[in-house]
Amino acid sequence: MTYTKPIFLVLFLPLVVIAYNLIPQKHRWKVLLLASYAFFWSISGKLLVYLLVTTGLMYVCGLWLNKKQNERNEELKNAEKAQKKIIKQKYVKKQRVILVINSLILLGMIVVLKYSKFLGTNINSLFQIMNLPIQMPIPSFIMPIGISFYTLQAISYIIDVYKEKIKADRNIGRLALFISFFPQIMEGPICRYEETANSLYEGKKTTYKGLTFGIQRILFGLMKKIIIVDRINPLILEIFNNYSNYDGGIMAVGMILYTLQLYMDFSGVMDIVIGIGEIFGVKMPENFRQPFFSKTIAEFWTRWHITLGAWFRDYIYYPVCLTDKCKKLTSWGRKKIGNYYGPLLASSIALFCVWICNGLWHGSAWSYIFFGMYHFVLILLGRIIEPLVKKINNKLHIDNKNFLYIIMQMVRTTILVFIGELFFRAKGLKAGIDMFTNMVSNFSLEQITNGTVLKLGVDIHDFIIIAITVLVIFVISVLKERGISIRESISKKNVVLRWSLYYMLIIAIIVFGSYGLGIVPLDPMYANF
Amino acid sequence: MKKNIIKFIIFVLILIFILMILSYIFVPKNNSKEFGMEEDQAKGIFGEKDNSIDVIMYGDSETIASTMPMKLWEDYGFTMHVCGEAGQTLPDTCRMVYDTMKKQHPKLVILESNNIYNSVNVTVPIARVINIMFPITEYHNRWKNLKLEDFYSKIEYNTTDINKGYYYVGRTDPVEDNAYMEKTEEIEKIPFLNKLYIKFLKYYSEKKGAQFVIVSVPSKKNWNYAKHNGVKEFADKEGIEFLDLNELKDELNIDWKTETGDKGDHVNYKGAVKVTNYLGKWLNDKNILENHKNDPNYEKWNKDLEEFKKNVKY
């Protein structure tokens, strides 16, 4: 069961919405929790135990931290000024122990389940290179669905309790629902406790506006998924599986269409997830903000998978920057190389940690590490050359707010993103390098102009319908970028226009959707990470 | 609240109306591939004369590759049509039985057993009901080939299939050895929902005056003794006749080195001849089918046989 399957949309979701609204408000959270566990069970079965262990650990460690904080506060009340610092330090150490225990168990689970095969294979390769006659047995585990997402939520909760941004929750039901809420468990968004826990637990009745807005958003997501993602899938499979049969032009087509597919798939699922949240009166954080309008790679990552980027920023980037060693490095750097490049030394270390983690978070393979390092280098280079670019622009009297200049920056950023996604999708790092080399050294439009591209599972009609849908989404993105809320604007129009638009959307999905006999829909792509 | 419910009902009613209009446009106006009909071989039955088919066989690709109705016609004068489709699930079978029995009243309905173990989730029957109510959901891909006539033409199903649903597999892709169907006490359970579908098929066939039987055609890859035991147990309990051709290795003598087109998944035409010969004797022994060979109403079948024999040599 996934969010785009009929069993979920036609049966599971309506039943949960009906049950949720029929039950008294104080028990509604139980419906959501039960539905969430049923959803998890339907995909991962007994692996639900990992989710339960994570929930239990959050609960226990949260209360443990809270207890220590209360004890500290009690001691501080009666302490003299000179002692206060010592007491605080004593309790910081105690809390750190709890934080480390919690993080080791949570990260230990994900490392064993997700990375042991990768680590084992690489250690064995190392033994081989060193001519050592040792081979480690390589374990292989089945991962529970969404472990990469809910583990980050669990860690953020405990760190926020540790930092006293939030109070530890004494209600294990609320905590369990926050970590397992079924629309977000597969692909996020990675929510913070203060964003969703209370509204989930509150059990607000579904309103007419929430229902209609939610359904609209779900339909918009389905349009992306069914019309674009599933329709271009045969072409992408063919190009990435048999890349040696094609010239550089086809490689470029595959690279562009894969990026389009990934964006439409992930953002489409997010539309469905956020739409479901709206039906239950829960405002979930947005995960995309027109990423292809980014002027730099750094900006791109503040618009693409926003909640993951924000998590890395808050729980890796800033903590690394604020370590004593990094602070010292910054002070030293300021003196030696100035106020711009000085802080860049420490921030580049933090940035490196973020991008290693980002790469590994996406998967346990060298291609993902390369993907992370690729973006690290691009962002770092961007920061290093920024003053130089400003100087050149000033000299050449180039206005960086000029429309054409901005378009050029967007195109450049998009091309860099395309290249990164090529390596991301390729079957291993070697295949990625081969495809990229083929694209550059063997670039030709022959297989595009002679019609080969139309014989790879996507015909001219498919391309036309994909292009029209992309155009519609582009126009909507432009309006959103200008701060116009499309759904609010539509809701103010007269009923004929409003309903006509809804009918057009529904009919477009039914007529132009890629479903039915012989079509295998693609499972949500980010659910595998 | 009341106002919103009324608004919602009006919205849905208009949507249903639009879908009905679109369904009329998108539904193939003829049961041939040229008009956009999917699985046109099986649907060739819709072009046959009313009440002219005595045996109809349903199931997945095992069915269409293994049974030659035209050979039965040649040998016994029986009229049979295979209404199997690649990947046909039991809900699909139910729908096909319902559709075919609108114009045909066969004496025997055969369900090939392979799809009995093909587990289907609960949304499949819902999807099939939606397909029946709104054919646009089944034929939506025709947007690529819509013609002006689709907007005003009447539906006329008059195309027949000279193979009567049989799919010719000419190639040979051997399996190394002939061993399979090792005897065991093990029983492979039939999924609960699938049992309900089979019960419905039996009920509906008998309601329409047909005897309902289950036949398992040879498939080295897909069939085993545990499945045989599972179907046998269920069939005995429900009073359904079950013929397992996989069990009759000596009588049929399928040689998996020369008589399969895909490593034991399906039999090729040589295997299909053996299967059809056996089924012919079995049907003949039942003494419920008429020989229509000399009936002038079935003259077209003799012409179809001539065409069939030009394409399929055996």
Residue A520 predicted with pLDDT over 80? no
Q: A474 and A188 in contact (C-beta within 8 Å)?
A: no
Q: At what angle do helices A495-512 and A460-481 cross, to 10 degrees?
A: 140
Residue B259 lies in a domain: yes
| Domain count along chain B | 1
Residue labelled with tokens 């079935």: B298
Q: Is some CB atom of chain B closer than 8 A to the CB atom of A511? A: yes
Q: A343 and A330 in contact (C-beta within 8 Å)?
A: yes
B144·A459 Cβ contact <8 A:
yes
Q: A312 and A305 in contact (C-beta within 8 Å)?
A: no
Q: A513 and B140 in contact (C-beta within 8 Å)?
A: yes
Q: Where residue A281 falls among pLDDT bands split at 50, 70, 90?
A: very high
Q: Of the candidates B11, B137, B143, which has its C-beta nearest A512's C-beta?
A: B143
Q: B189: burial class by Cβ within 10 Å (0-12, 13-18, 19+)?
A: middle
A11·B140 Cβ contact <8 A:
no
Chain B residues with CB-CB distance to A503 below 8 A = 14-15, 18
| Distance separating alpha carbons of residues B91 and B130, to the nearest angstrom | 12
Average pLDDT over residues A461-469: 95
Q: Supply the DSSP symbol for A322.
A: T
End-to-end C-alpha distance for chain B, whole angstroms: 71
Reported pTM: 0.84
3-state secondary structure chain B: CHHHHHHHHHHHHHHHHHHHHHHHHHCCCCCCHHHCCCCCCHHHHHHCCCCCCCEEEECCHHHHHHCCHHHHHHHHCCCEEECCCCCCCHHHHHHHHHHHCCCCCCCEEEEEHHHHHCCCCCHHHHHHHHHHHCCHHHHHHHHHCCCHHHHCCCCCCCCCCCCCCCCCCCCCCCCCCCCCCCCCCCCCCCCHHHHHHHHHHHHHHHHCCCEEEEEECCCCCCCCHHHHHHHHHHHHHHCCEEEECCCCHHHHCCCCCCCECCCCCCECHHHHHHHHHHHHHHHHHHCCCCCCCCCHHHHHHHHHHHHHHHHCCC
Residue B142 lies in a domain: no
CA B121 to chain A, closest CA, distance in angstroms equals 8
Q: CA nearest B112: which of B124, B131, B96, B132? A: B96
Q: Is some CB atom of chain A closer than 8 A to the CB atom of B22? A: yes
Q: Of the candidates B22, B126, B141, which has its C-beta nearest A516's C-beta?
A: B141
C-alpha distances out from residue A447 to A168, A252, A395, Å? 60, 11, 44
Chain A residues with CB-CB distance to B15 below 8 A = 503, 506
Write down the pLDDT at residue A528. 66
Q: CA nearest B218: which of B266, B263, B170, B257? A: B266
- Domain regions of chain A by residue span: 6-205, 289-425
Percent of chain B with pLDDT over 90: 73
Hey, CA dihedral for B87, B91, B96, B101, is it positive or negative? Answer: positive
Percent of chain A with pLDDT over 90: 71
Q: A258 and A286 in contact (C-beta within 8 Å)?
A: no
Q: Is some CB atom of chain B closer than 8 A to the CB atom of A512? A: yes
Q: Of the candidates B18, B121, B144, which has its C-beta nearest A7's C-beta?
A: B121
Across B205-226, b (16+ Cβ under 10 Å) vs e yields beebebbbbbbbbbbbebbbbe
3-state helix, strand, coil in chain A (%, to 5): 80, 0, 20
Q: Per-residue pLDDT tens for A420-451?
A: 999 999 988 899 999 999 999 988 888 898 98
Q: B199: burial class by Cβ within 10 Å (0-12, 13-18, 19+)?
A: middle
Q: A47 and A142 in contact (C-beta within 8 Å)?
A: yes
Write down the pLDDT at residue A125. 86
The pairing of strands B108-112 and B55-58 is parallel
Residue A346 predicted with pLDDT over 80? yes
Chain B residues with CB-CB distance to A10 below 8 A = 123, 126
C-alpha distances out from residue B43 to A127, A291, A401, B59, B107, Å? 62, 49, 64, 13, 19
| Distance separating alpha carbons of residues B245 and B278, to the nearest angstrom | 9
Residue B136 lies in a domain: no
Q: Where residue B78 falls among pLDDT bands split at 50, 70, 90?
A: very high
Report the SS3 class of residue A287.
coil
Q: Supply the DSSP symbol for A228.
A: I
Residue B15 lies in a domain: no
Residue B134 lies in a domain: no
Q: Is some CB atom of chain B closer than 8 A to the CB atom of A461? A: yes
Chain A residues with CB-CB distance to B137 below 8 A = 510, 516
Write down the pLDDT at residue B76. 95
Residue B25 lies in a domain: no
Q: At what angle do helices A147-162 and A172-180 cross, to 10 degrees?
A: 140
Q: CA nearest A499: which of B11, B111, B148, B218? A: B11
Residue B122 predicted with pLDDT over 80? no
Q: CA nearest A8: which of A529, A528, A521? A: A521
Q: CA nearest B111: which of B144, B132, B148, B83? A: B83
Question: To the nearest 10°, the Cα dihedral for A314, A316, A322, A326?
Answer: -150
Q: Is some CB atom of chain B closer than 8 A to the CB atom of A513? A: yes
Distance of CA A146 to the CA centre of its chain: 11
Q: Per-residue pLDDT tens for B99-118?
A: 999 999 999 999 999 999 98
Q: What does the block give as tokens for A19? A: 């049950």
Amino acid, res. A80: E
B126·A11 Cβ contact <8 A:
yes
Q: Most B CBs within 10 Å: which of A504, A517, A519, A520, as the mutation test of the B interface? A: A517
Q: Where residue B123 falls among pLDDT bands split at 50, 70, 90?
A: confident
Q: CA nearest A429: which of A508, A469, A374, A492? A: A374
B80-82: strand order across its sheet: B80-82, B55-58, B108-112, B211-216, B241-244
| Distance separating alpha carbons of residues A261 and A523, to the nearest angstrom | 12
Average pLDDT over residues B24-39: 88
The mean-pLDDT minimum among A80-89, A167-176, A282-291, A375-384 falls in A80-89
| Distance separating alpha carbons of residues A497 and A216, to the nearest angstrom | 15
CA B218 to chain A, closest CA, distance in angstroms equals 25
Residue B16 lies in a domain: no
Residue A308 predicted with pLDDT over 90? yes
Q: Where residue B200 falls among pLDDT bands split at 50, 70, 90?
A: very high
- The secondary element (H helix, E strand) that includes residue A74 is helix A48-78
Write down the pLDDT at residue B136. 94
Domain that holds residue B278: 40-123+154-311
Find residue B211's DSSP bridge partners: B108
CA A223 to chain B, closest CA, distance in angstroms equals 15
A511·B143 Cβ contact <8 A:
yes
Q: Of the candidates A459, A503, A516, which has its C-beta nearest B138's C-beta?
A: A516
Q: A114: burial class by Cβ within 10 Å (0-12, 13-18, 19+)?
A: buried
Q: A248 and A444 in contact (C-beta within 8 Å)?
A: yes
Q: What does the block give as tokens for B4? A: 């919103």
Q: Report the CATH number at residue B99.
A: 3.40.50.1110
Residue A529 predicted with pLDDT over 70? no
Q: Most B CBs within 10 Å: which of A3, A7, A8, A9, as the mutation test of the B interface? A: A7
A510·B137 Cβ contact <8 A:
yes
Residue A92 predicted with pLDDT over 80? yes
DSSP A159-184: HHHHTTSSPPPS-HHHHHHHHH-HHH
Q: Provide ipTM, 2 decimals.
A: 0.79
Q: Where residue A41 falls among pLDDT bands split at 50, 70, 90?
A: very high
Chain B residues with CB-CB distance to A512 below 8 A = 140, 143
Q: Of the candidates A6, A506, A510, which has its C-beta nearest B127's C-beta?
A: A6
Q: Is some CB atom of chain B closer than 8 A to the CB atom of A499? A: yes
Q: What is the C-alpha radius of gyration for chain A, rounded to an integer number of angstroms?
A: 25
Q: Per-residue pLDDT tens for B137-173?
A: 999 999 998 988 889 988 899 999 999 999 999 999 9
Average pLDDT over residues A331-336: 90
**Residue A204 vs residue B120, higher pLDDT:** A204
How many other C-beta atoms lie within 10 A of the C-beta of residue B2?
6
C-alpha distances out from residue A410 to A58, A390, A500, B162, Å? 42, 17, 34, 60
End-to-end C-alpha distance for chain A, whole angstroms: 17
| Distance separating alpha carbons of residues A188 and A148, to the nearest angstrom | 9
Q: Per-residue pLDDT tens for A6-31?
A: 889 888 999 999 999 999 999 999 99
Average pLDDT over residues A406-420: 95
Q: A191 and A124 in contact (C-beta within 8 Å)?
A: no
* Mean per-residue pLDDT of chain B: 92
Q: Is some CB atom of chain A closer than 8 A to the CB atom of B132? A: no
Residue B28 lies in a domain: no
